[in-house]
Structure 1
Amino acid sequence: MNDLIQKYKVYIENKGLSKNTIEAYIRDLDQYVEFITNRDEDINLADEITINAYIQKLMEEKKSIASINRKMASIRNFYKYLNLYGYTKETPSFVYELPKSKKEIPITLTVDEIDRLLSTPNIECDKGIRDRAMLEIMYATGIKVSELLNLRLLDLNLKMQYIICNGSKKRQRVIPLGSLAIKYMEQYLKVRGNLGYNNENLLFFNNRGKKMTRQGFWKIVKEYAREANINKSINLYTLRHSFAVHLLENGADIKSVQELLGHADLSATERYSYITKKNRLKEVYTKAHPRA
Structure 2
Amino acid sequence: MSSLEAIVIAVVEGLTEFLPVSSTGHMIITQALLGVESTPFVKAFTVIIQFGAILSVVFLYWKRFFRLNQVTVFEKDAVEGIGFVQRGVTFLKRFLHKFDFYWKLLIAVVPAGVLGLAFGDQIDALLENVFVVSVMLVAGGVVMLFVDRWFNKPVGDQSISWRRALKIGLFQSIAMIPGVSRSMATIVGGMGTGLDRKNAAEFSFFLAVPTMAAAAGYKLFQLIKDPASAVMLQENMGILLIGNLVAFVVAVIAIRFFIDFLTRHGFKAFGWYRIIVGGVLIALLLSGTVSNIA
* Superposed pair shares fold, TM > 0.5: no
Q: Which has the higher strand share?
A: 1
TM-score bucket (shorter structure): under 0.3
Asked which structure has the greater RCO (Cα within 8 Å, sep 6+), the reply is: 2
**Structure with max Cα Rg:** 1
TM-score (norm 1): 0.25
